[in-house]
Structure 1
């Protein structure tokens, strides 16, 4: 038993330390994902060590120390996504009468054929903006009933698991479909008219980016480079933006990974899950291996009304819905992650290495006037 505990301690320590490497190969970066699962395993290992190790030897204490350090390190990453952490985004005031944005994001899984269940979820929750990922021509046809209530639409049907569609009840402007990094991986960029300027009410336009970069995996990309570059390009294009912004989609990256944290630092966007929960959206069919892959980040012009995972409709992802309250007096009262010189140097190196330019990212109008 002691030999088994020693082997398990070494294995979990290696899996904990592996992501410290800046290597982008998939078999390294994949260990950014299951930090909560590794934390559970480390906690169980620690308990087993306490029961079965012989603490008369220095080696037993060393194993306990290694397991405890690894557990503490994993918890450092995931604790912000528990109720033990301070909220990054404030709850909206129930009496606030400003405009609200209700958005639903759903990765449908192209081979999934349960379109009626998704239509039912849309009818039940009535989002103003719906973004669907992995939607091909078949899915576009099945979602045609939405066109009656969603007069503003953007379609990019593909049969390679990277099709994307946008349905909106709110007027769209500056609409652009771009293949930012890979020729077969599109993203949608648009300005959404949240509130028309009428009488004393100011016009509010939200700059929105809908993304679905390819993940690092043996069946997709051998490295995380393509995903990382796309996220960094969008983040850099948002740096200095003073108007309201929302970025949503399946980023194929977990909320706590170095890349997503770098995206938040550079873009200045907030994560409403901090202090509230992980909102795990993948894998819908295999509960022991779930983590947050579908994200909605926003500028500090918004406060949170609700964010929740919706029931499964046959995809490997759960859909996620968020409702935000626009609050024009809110800027700089909510604060997220802050970039330092090392972060900016990392971004510059990555963009230079891949010859990528943030100027390739569309900049839809964002204004509050």
Structure 2
């Protein structure tokens, strides 16, 4: 009985790793990209259990056991770049320079959550220059507008559909626009932020739909919005920061394609997972809230903050503009095949 359970569990684990190779936009295929760390842990536990309780005896047992070893090797390969042993994609700042630093705070508040005071505490802890809050309706705007004295520059789209956005900045915002890149009820923000040094930084704030049955059964619109911003970032004449709840994990093929097409860097690489979702269940946590930046930045700090009643943890990331860093950072590059794939996804008929 134990032998059969472990045999079929092994097959299930292997299949869960293979499913994301099917490049279909339907949520059943895309959702399996998320739990790579969980799959790795389960893979290890099953292998240990096989060695203890059901050591391979027949040829099929050995074949499945070898497949499990290959599977675990592949998962380690995928996850390794996001551990402290991986190569840092963006170098650390030698010292903090207030004139060229931009500290950002991002939070998916969970619209029904009413613990606004907890966010004020975390904002005071982070002391950011720019605050982005998503899933914010008019109630949340009322609660957060007490920040106005400290953060006088604002772009706000409170919505009741869980896709509202609030952007507060202590630095001047220029040419700020509310965009609806893919759907008429899902906004994004594009604006320039003026650092104390006078340097302008292009800021993109996103919160696309997740590929889940209750929201959207396909990842088509999410992928389209993410890759549209990737192209905009690549074409920008200013250094760029993209941030928000992208509803995609850091290691998915869409996020990796975003990095290649945009040329932007992920500060988590070489530093840790910084899983921001799900705050309520420790065994179901993934890095869904992202901050990407141009190669002309270094990293002063990155922190996941305390839970504030939402299903997402807030994130606080401190970046420093330093053009000399571009030659030292590990900049991703897109192949012709990558660019063709990105254009194909952007031009998909909905």
Cα distance change on mapping 1:330 and 1:54 into 2, 3 Å = closer
Whether the 8 Å CA contact 1:131–1:167 is kept in 2: the answer is yes
Please tell me whether residue 304 in structure 1 is matched to residue 305 in structure 2. Answer: no
Name the CA shift for 1:284/1:348 in 2 (closer, same or farther; >3 Å). Answer: same
Contact 1:180–1:187 under 8 Å retained in 2: yes
1:212 aligns with 2:213: no
Q: In 2, are the aligned partners of 1:134 and 1:163 still within 8 Å (CA)?
A: yes
Q: Give the Cα separation in 1 of the matches to 2:98 and 2:318.
A: 14
Q: What is the Cα deviation at residue 96 of structure 1?
A: 5.3
Q: Distance in 2 between matches of 1:60 and 1:79?
A: 28
Root-mean-square deviation (CA, aligned residues, Å) is: 1.4
Q: Is 1:82 matched up with 2:77? A: no
Q: 1:139-191 CA distances to partner (integer Å, 9 max, x unpaired)?
A: 00111210111110111000111000100000000100011101111001100
Assess, with a 3 A threshold, how the Cα gap between structure 1 residues 106 and 243 changes in structure 2: closer, same or farther: same
Partner of 2:133: 132
Q: Distance in 2 between matches of 1:106 and 1:54?
A: 47
Q: How far did residue 59 of structure 1 move?
A: 2.1
Which residue is equivalent to 1:49? 50
Query: Aligned pair 1:336/2:331, yes or no?
Result: yes
- 1:331, distance to aligned residue in structure 2 (A): 2.1
Most deviating of 44-53 and 124-133: 44-53
Number of aligned positions between the proteins: 349
| CA distance, structure 2, for counterparts of residue 72 and residue 184 of structure 1 | 42
- Residue 163 of structure 1 corresponds to 164
Partner Cα distance (1:38, 1:56) in 2: 25
**C-alpha distance 242-178 of structure 1, shift in aligned 2 (>3 A):** closer
- In 1, Cα distance between the equivalents of 2:99 and 2:154? 25
Which residue number corresponds to residue 36 of structure 2? 35
Q: Show CA shifts across 1:261-293 (max 9, x none).
A: 000000000001000001000000111100100
Shift of 1:73: 1.8
Q: TM-score, normalised by structure 1?
A: 0.92
Cα distance, 1:56 vs. partner? 4.1
- The runs of 5 or more residues in structure 2 that have no matched partner are none
TM-score, length basis structure 2: 0.97
Aligned CA distance change for structure 1 residues 56 and 119 (closer, same or farther; 3 Å)? closer
Partner of 1:17: 18
The ranges of structure 1 where at least 4 consecutive aligned residues each deviate by more than 4 angstroms after the TM superposition are 95-98
Alignment correspondent of 2:277:
282
- Corresponding position of 2:181: 180
Q: Which deviations, in whole Å up to 9, do the C-alpha atoms of 1:268-319 show, x marking residues without a partner?
A: 0000100000100000011110010000000011111100100011111000
Higher mean displacement: 334-343 or 163-172 = 334-343
In 1, the alpha carbon distance for the partners of 2:223 and 2:199 equals 31
Aligned mates of 2:263, 2:96 — CA distance in 1 = 27
Match for residue 362 of structure 1?
none
SS at 1:270's partner residue? coil
- Structure 1 alignment gaps of length 5 or more: 197-202, 356-369
> Given the superposition, is the C-alpha separation of residues 54 and 140 from structure 1 closer, same or farther in structure 2, using an over 3 Å criterion?
closer
